Structure 1
Amino acid sequence: MASTAASPPPAAGDHPRVLLRGFLSSETCKELEFVHRSCGAAGYRPSVVSTSLPHLAATGCGHLLLPFVPIRERLRDAVESFFDCHFDLFIEFTGLISWCKGSSIGWHSDDNKPYLRQRAFTAVCYLNNHGEDYTGGILQFQDGDPSSIIPVAGDVVIYSADNRNVHRVNEVTDGERLTLTLWFTRDRAYDEDPKLLTFLSQTSLSCEPTEQNSYIPMPASDNMYWFSYDQSGFDIRCARVHILGFSFHSSSGESNTSVLPDEDDPIELLGKQLRLGRGDDVLEKIFSNSLHALQVVQFYYWKAPVLAARARREQSFPGSETGCYQIIHNSKGTELPLPCNDTLAQTILGSYNTAEVAFEWNDFALAVAMWESYSEELKKQLLTFLPYWLSSETIFVVDPSELQNQSNSPMRSGFASFFGDVAGREL
């Protein structure tokens, strides 16, 4: 568990806010970054990418809510403790938000619209580092101390959502500023959990725990992934894979001139089966859709050091996971004809330092198998916890002792460590 050090509390009635350093571990930040870069869609304002919990549930990625559960509880406890709440708090919104190049917001309080009056408190968790991953994007308060926050991965700032904490975020000048943001309310009518559980019950209860590939993501409407900027734009799914050196290819292996009938929208190909390529090489594995492929790509870069070490150990064993896919060489002609302004995408999202990762197809093939294991385990856990959540209409950390008939389950032994620091799992 990451240690937490708080700055001195403000005087009551002034500008109540607190900075909690090291609230989230580095691995927790990286897991949430993986979720966001795998699933994010165009945001609520220009130059913003967001991943909300309902979006995860609606796209068949409800199992990816599990990393959020212990974090939400810890944050609620921190807010209730700091503000000495003598009432129940409910979480109104939980979401991952990227502020990309050109984004900013002027002076405001978080309850400054009639439809936001229910918001009482805000928690902003920084998932990457100012000066390393992006420039600009400093949180500044109009009055009181601390007057500005320079984002450091793992730090959390908590403040009241009213006009005692009028603030702004100055312009992001390069890169992608990533946060986990929660708003808390005293009004049960705005509790996001019952609505979220409705999504989860509709999308998850129809799946049996043993059902194969029930964790494969299903894309939302294509326009949710289109990032407009002035007169140009790009598809976020394409941009994410291109920035990391990959490309989408026809699943049939045929030339791209034959995969697209004249009347079809090329972006619709992203919801269909496809392959991943790098340079002139294409992995023979067929992915169900672009989000499926994107999740594996992002997983590979999240776990690259672990993957490389494990792949080296397993190379000498016949039938190992690294040998399950072939590489199709000289397949440049099969790349899908997708309209995407790659230059603009790199300008807005920034470029990732992939030089530290010595790419190997063997490592990537292993990432496919390890991503499947990671996703399948989360899916099983979701289906185990969901009945408890539905009965209480609340998403919470389930005490292992409350689980029935789980004594022989291989999952049981992992519950305590999973919820102690959800992102500390070694794959």
Structure 2
Amino acid sequence: MSKVDFEPQHSRLFIPNFLSLNECRELEFIHKSSSTVGYRPNVFSTTLSHLIATNSSHLVIPFIPIRERLKDRLEEFFKCEYELVIEFTGLISWSKGASIGWHSDDNRPYLKQRHFSAVCYLNSYGKDFSGGIFHFQDGEPKSIMPKAGDVVMYTADDHNIHSVDEITEGERLTVALWFSRDGSHDEDKKLISLLSQHLLHKNVADSYLPLPASGNMYWFSHGQASDCQIGFNICWARLHVLGYDIYISQDSGGDSDVSDLLVVHFYCWQGSALLDKVSNTDSKVVKVTDVQREKISGLNSVLSNDDDFASKVFCNMLSEENRSICFDWSGILAAVAAWEDYALNISQQIHLQFPYWKIHESIYNLQLDEQCSTNKR
């Protein structure tokens, strides 16, 4: 069915509180520990294919129930049950300076296969960022002030020409899904092919730590930063704005450890739940020598060439004193242990579910109890 054959009674749907706060926080954790430079200036992205390519296939699992719920709700509202495939799933964040003018999601020739779009907001206007209000050119709702958990779905055509105001502070985070009636653009078939290559020689007990992508995927250069003539590594800049400095020991051979980034953001996500599990008596003070301080300063100058610029791009709406995290060794150790449990759980899920995905050429959620009983038979 072509687009001209389809004329929906309603062209858009807004649903408040579609995602839980914890779902938002989990996807935020994945994005901030995995994102790379995006498709336009001041935009950063995390796609499912990128997660698979960097040894993080298990991080696909949290997306699956969200994708299914979105697709079911969209097909129900637009009366097109069992007609759509998911063309794209990705986490997209817009930092200070990012904006987009009036357009529709199919206004380029190579996007004519796109029929519907869904945007889930993972953080909130006025709390986590300023600017970034979503506007439709006409119809209702006319404007949407993003709030964590809210979703907007709409037809990707001239009924829904839209724009997004420039981000003036903080970082606006969404999960975006695009849908098509053209099965040749089914994202799942491509992802299953990638998963086949990745999981073929990977044991469930193997490392859950991501492999770094090529350096230019993480380097936010002056070419993307309008009038700024410097750049920085976005992974380490995210740590810097949280109040952490970077130290790479001699034993590491000078190589940065991407696990540091992941554990810190996992710690930020789980926060109070982790601290409830540890005793204050476990806290230790980590002293840094003068030589180490000098190395940290040198590394910061290399990995984040301009501290102020990094903060301007990534800082949130909190006050300066609240934005820094007080280092607590017991909390970090708890985060490492909790991360291992979390990663093992979702790694087991993907290994159990993948054979079913491969048979059906579709990524969907199965109950583990059902799978385990089937495997036993």
Please give the TM-score of this superposition, normalised by the length of structure 2: 0.89
Aligned to 1:136: 131
1:137 and 1:170 in contact (8 A); partners too: yes
Counterpart AA for 1:329: V
Q: CA deviation at 1:251?
A: 2.6
Going by fraction, where is helix more abundant, 1 or 2? Answer: 2
State the partner residue of 2:293: 332
Q: Is the 8 A contact 1:36 1:50 kept in 2?
A: yes
* Residue in structure 1 matched with residue 356 of structure 2 by the alignment: 388
| Offset of residue 334 of structure 1 | 3.6
2:152 to 157, 160, 169: 157
- Cα distance in 2 for residues equivalent to 1:249 and 1:221: 21
Task: Report the CA distance shift for 1:34/1:19 in structure 2 as closer, same or farther (over 3 A).
Answer: same
Deviation at 1:180, TM superposition (A): 0.4
| C-alpha deviation, 1:234, in angstroms | 1.0
SS in 1 for 2:169: strand
State the 4+ residue runs in structure 1 displaced beyond 3 angstroms: 12-15, 325-329, 351-354, 356-359, 399-402, 404-408
By how many angstroms is 1:404 displaced?
4.2
Tell me, in whole angstroms, the C-alpha distance in 1 between the residues paired with 2:362 and 2:131: 37
Answer yes or no: is 1:307 the counterpart of 2:274. yes
Give the whole-Å Cα distance in 2 for the aligned partners of 1:384 and 1:251.
38
Partner of 1:239: 237
Out of 91, 111, 114, which is 1:116 matched to? 111
Write the deviation string for residues 48-68 of structure 1: whole angstroms up to 9, x where unpaired: 010011000100111001000
Among 207, 211, 216, the alignment partner of 2:209 is 216
Report the alpha carbon displacement of residue 358 of structure 1 after superposing the two structures with TM: 4.8
* Secondary structure in structure 1 of the residue aligned to 2:201: coil
Structure 1 residue 143, shift from structure 2 partner: 1.0
Write the deviation string for residues 224-273 of structure 1: whole angstroms up to 9, x where unpaired.
0011224221111110111112222223269xxxx6xxxxxxxxx5xx3x
Shift of 1:296: 0.2
Q: Which runs of 5+ in 2 are unaligned?
A: 1-6
5 Å-filtered alignment, 1:32-181, equals 32-181=27-176
* Structure 1 unmatched ranges of 5 or more: 1-11, 260-268, 275-288, 316-321, 409-427
Alpha-carbon distance in structure 2 between the residues aligned to 1:339 and 1:73: 39
**1:205–1:383 contact (8 Å) kept in structure 2:** no
- CA offsets 1:297-351 (integer angstroms, 9 cap, x no match): 10111111011111128x5xxxxxx68x994532313426324222111111124
Query: Which residue, out of 305, 315, 319, partners 1:350?
Result: 315
* Distance apart, 1:204 and its partner CA: 2.3
Provide the secondary structure at the position in 2 that maps to 1:311.
coil
Deviation at 1:23, TM superposition (A): 0.3
Asked if 2 retains the 8 angstrom alpha-carbon contact of 1:56 and 1:65, the reply is: yes
Q: How far apart are the structure 2 equivalents of 1:99 and 1:59?
A: 22
Percentage of identical aligned residues: 46
Deviations 1:346-376 (A, max 9, x none): 1111247473865411111211111121112
Contact 1:119 1:185 in 2 (8 A): yes
What RMSD over aligned residues (CA atoms) do the two structures have, in Å? 2.2
Alignment deviations for residues 60-113 of structure 1 (CA, whole Å, 9 cap, x no partner): 111001000000000000110110115521000000000111111111000011
Residue 172 of structure 1 and its aligned partner are, at CA, apart by 0.8
In structure 2, the CA distance between the partners of 1:363 and 1:391, relative to structure 1 (3 Å rule), is same
SS of residue in 2 equivalent to 1:232? coil
Pairs aligned (count): 356
Change over 3 Å in CA distance of 1:352–1:368 after alignment to 2: farther
Aligned to 2:4: none
Q: Which moved more, 1:127-136 or 1:300-309?
A: 300-309
Q: Tell me which amino acid in the other structure corresponds to 1:223.
A: N
Q: Which moved more, 1:103-112 or 1:354-363?
A: 354-363
Query: What is the CA–CA distance in structure 2 between the aligned matches of 1:34 and 1:406, rounded to whole Å?
Result: 33
Q: 2:220 aligns with which of 205, 221, 227?
A: 227
